[in-house]
Amino acid sequence: MTDSDRDRLEAVSPLDGRYARYTADLVPYASERALIGARVHVEAQYLLALADVAELPLDLASDEHERLGDLAVSISLDDARRIKRIETEGTEDRPATNHDVKAVEYFLRDELNDPEIAPWIHFGLTSEDVNNLAYRLCVRGALRDVLLPELDALWDQLADLAREHRDVPMLARTHGQPATPTTFGKELAVYAARLDDAIERIDDATGSLAGKLAGASGTYGAHTVAAPDVDWRAFSEAFVEELGLRHLPLVTQVNPSDDLASLFSALRGANSVLLDLDRDAWLYVSQGYLVQRGGEDETGSSTMPHKVNPIDFENSEGNCSKANSDLAFLAEYLTTSRLQRDLSDSTVKRTIGTALGHCLLGYRKAGAGLETVEPDAERLAADLEAHPEVLGEAIQTALRRAGHADAYERLKAYTRGQRVTRETLDAVLDDPDLDVDEATRERLVDLTPAAYTGLVSDLVDELDGDREGTDGSDAK
């Protein structure tokens, strides 16, 4: 039985078991097959680049050139399995390499089957030259093709909901206490704006991924001894940039991974925005501000049949939290290496896909949660009417405008620590010692908590400008 045939119930990680249907889009970028394919891509492109160096006696026949081009595009699952067998089991011609990159080298030797070409496969390279580039190609693909589009879709959801409910008034709570009213739409617009900034940071960090190709200690030592007439620094820079990565000229054996640390930090920023959203949505459901539409086939509780639980927001919270923990660990660990290199980072890098998987699951669950909720306008209105004390801010500020330096103290004496009614506030305005013009008084008497929402419509309009999507297209 192959790994791909294994029953989901036997998966060690829930990302490949219970949640496999949510994370399947990452398989082309975060699986072992994907990493093997990226290594083949780097090695094949490297051999093609060497063949273009005039100072080197390497000539590729047209069919060899075509085969390398095909391998650089993609490898089949059978090819990936063959490479894995070369690593772990060996072949009739050679024992197991017990080395993943060496297995790729031998695979290419077998594929080309040309003794004149064989010496140039993996020429002068250390495995980290291949691996650092391969990992970044995988990570870049995962971000650009899967995670960033998922975040763009979440932004669309938030922006659409913000516009739809821009004028649905809602009691705000600061420190958990009743505060100046807002609208449900405006609060979602805040999250949309924050997420937009986070997406931009992720996109920038993805575009700044960097690669090295400088040999076993970052000196081009083997290259220059074998072919001293080649400008290997220029070759390396051109090769890395041809892969769409920034070139790192000063390195040890390893890529220092500061670029990955920046990307993981940017991802954590987006996840933190969604964690805040998940927790607020959970609280709004708990308060009855948000109504959930439960599916007919959904069981909310094994014993309480009435329940519709905010499970999508809870799941998103858990996965974004797990992702952030993994991303913080990766950012810290991958940027350190003993002397010119130690191997501890190798096993750690294999968990990058796990972190990205928890990100993707968190994003999709947040989106699923947003699809099933809507504000309960009647409940929101009732809660606003039950807290007229929130108008105290408006009244004391308007009285300040009218010249009353003691306005705050007046309102504090009437309201703090007491049950406040509309009559309480009217008593402030009816105080015979209060000198205020009739227009201001009427405006304050007529003011209601539901109408005390400031410039929310204009603020939500901040989302209506052109937004450039991460694929370069205009998003909503």
Question: Do 36 and 89 fall into the same domain?
Answer: yes
Could you tell me if residue 265 is inside a domain? yes
Query: Which is more confidently placed, 415 or 232?
Result: 232
User: Does 109 score more than 90 pLDDT?
Assistant: yes
Could you tell me if residue 12 is inside a domain? no
Residues 388-443 have pLDDT tens digits of 999 999 999 999 998 899 999 988 888 888 889 999 998 888 888 888 888 888 99
Cβ neighbors of 122 (< 8 A, separation 6 or more) are 43, 46, 101, 105, 130
Residue 270 to residue 274: CA distance in whole angstroms? 6
Over residues 134-139, the mean pLDDT reads 98
Residues 90-102 have pLDDT tens digits of 999 899 999 999 9
Residues 199-225 have pLDDT tens digits of 999 999 999 999 999 999 999 999 999
Q: Which pLDDT does position 470 carry in this prediction?
A: 65
Residue 70 to residue 72: CA distance in whole angstroms? 5
Q: Which pLDDT does position 294 carry in this prediction?
A: 62
- From the candidates 74, 208, 286, 301, which is the catalytic residue? 301
Q: How confident is the model at residue 64 (pLDDT cuts 50, 70, 90)?
A: very high
Cβ contact 350:362 at 8 Å: no
Strand 169-174 to 210-211 pairing? unpaired
Q: Give the helix/strand (H/E) hosting 183.
A: strand 177-183
Q: Which pLDDT does position 29 carry in this prediction?
A: 96
Residue 128 to residue 254: CA distance in whole angstroms? 6
CATH assignment of the domain containing 141? 1.20.200.10
Question: Do 65 and 162 fall into the same domain?
Answer: no
User: Does 387 score more than 60 pLDDT?
Assistant: yes
Residues 154-211 have pLDDT tens digits of 999 999 999 999 999 999 999 999 999 999 999 999 999 999 999 999 999 999 999 9
User: Does 303 score more than 70 pLDDT?
Assistant: no
- Write down which residue in 125, 151, 182 finishes a domain: 125
Q: How confident is the model at residue 295 (pLDDT cuts 50, 70, 90)?
A: low
- Catalytic residue list contains 175: yes
| Range of the structural domain that residue 249 is part of | 128-299+306-376
Q: Which pLDDT does position 413 carry in this prediction?
A: 87
- Write down which residue in 125, 153, 188 finishes a domain: 125
**What is the residue-averaged pLDDT of the chain?**
92
Query: Which is more confidently placed, 301 or 14?
Result: 14
Residues 328-382 have pLDDT tens digits of 999 999 999 999 988 899 999 999 999 999 999 999 999 999 999 999 999 999 9
Question: Do 145 and 266 fall into the same domain?
Answer: yes
Question: Do 173 and 282 fall into the same domain?
Answer: yes
User: Does 77 score more than 90 pLDDT?
Assistant: yes
Strand 467-468 to 474-475 pairing? antiparallel
Residues 240-259 have pLDDT tens digits of 999 999 999 999 999 999 99
User: Does 48 score more than 60 pLDDT?
Assistant: yes
Could you tell me if residue 19 is inside a domain? no
Could you tell me if residue 339 is inside a domain? yes
CATH assignment of the domain containing 418? 1.10.40.30
Q: How confident is the model at residue 471 (pLDDT cuts 50, 70, 90)?
A: low
Could you tell me if residue 11 is inside a domain? no
Could you tell me if residue 49 is inside a domain? yes
Question: Do 93 and 157 fall into the same domain?
Answer: no
Over residues 250-269, the mean pLDDT reads 97
Percent of the chain past pLDDT 90, that is, above it, reads 79
Question: Do 90 and 215 fall into the same domain?
Answer: no
CATH assignment of the domain containing 38? 1.10.275.10
CB neighbour class for 211 (10 Å; exposed up to 12, middle 13-18, buried from 19): buried
Q: Which pLDDT does position 10 carry in this prediction?
A: 84
Least confident range of 149-158, 300-309, 354-363: 300-309
- Write down which residue in 327, 352, 376 finishes a domain: 376
Residue 12 to residue 17: CA distance in whole angstroms? 7
Question: Do 137 and 228 fall into the same domain?
Answer: yes
Question: Do 138 and 77 fall into the same domain?
Answer: no
Tokens, residue 65: 């050139």
Number of domains in the chain: 3
Question: Do 98 and 169 fall into the same domain?
Answer: no
Q: How confident is the model at residue 302 (pLDDT cuts 50, 70, 90)?
A: very low
Residue 187 to residue 163: CA distance in whole angstroms? 11
- Catalytic residue list contains 301: yes
Could you tell me if residue 278 is inside a domain? yes
Q: Which pLDDT does position 476 carry in this prediction?
A: 39
Could you tell me if residue 470 is inside a domain? no
Question: Do 151 and 114 fall into the same domain?
Answer: no
Residue 241 to residue 249: CA distance in whole angstroms? 12
Residues 2-27 have pLDDT tens digits of 554 467 788 889 898 899 999 999 99
- From the candidates 175, 302, 306, 473, which is the catalytic residue? 175
Over residues 100-124, the mean pLDDT reads 96
Question: Do 152 and 267 fall into the same domain?
Answer: yes
Q: How confident is the model at residue 61 (pLDDT cuts 50, 70, 90)?
A: very high
Question: Do 260 and 371 fall into the same domain?
Answer: yes
User: Does 466 score more than 70 pLDDT?
Assistant: no
Q: Which residues of 60-80 are buried (b: 16+ CB within 10 A; e: fewer)?
A: beeebeebbeebbeebeeebb
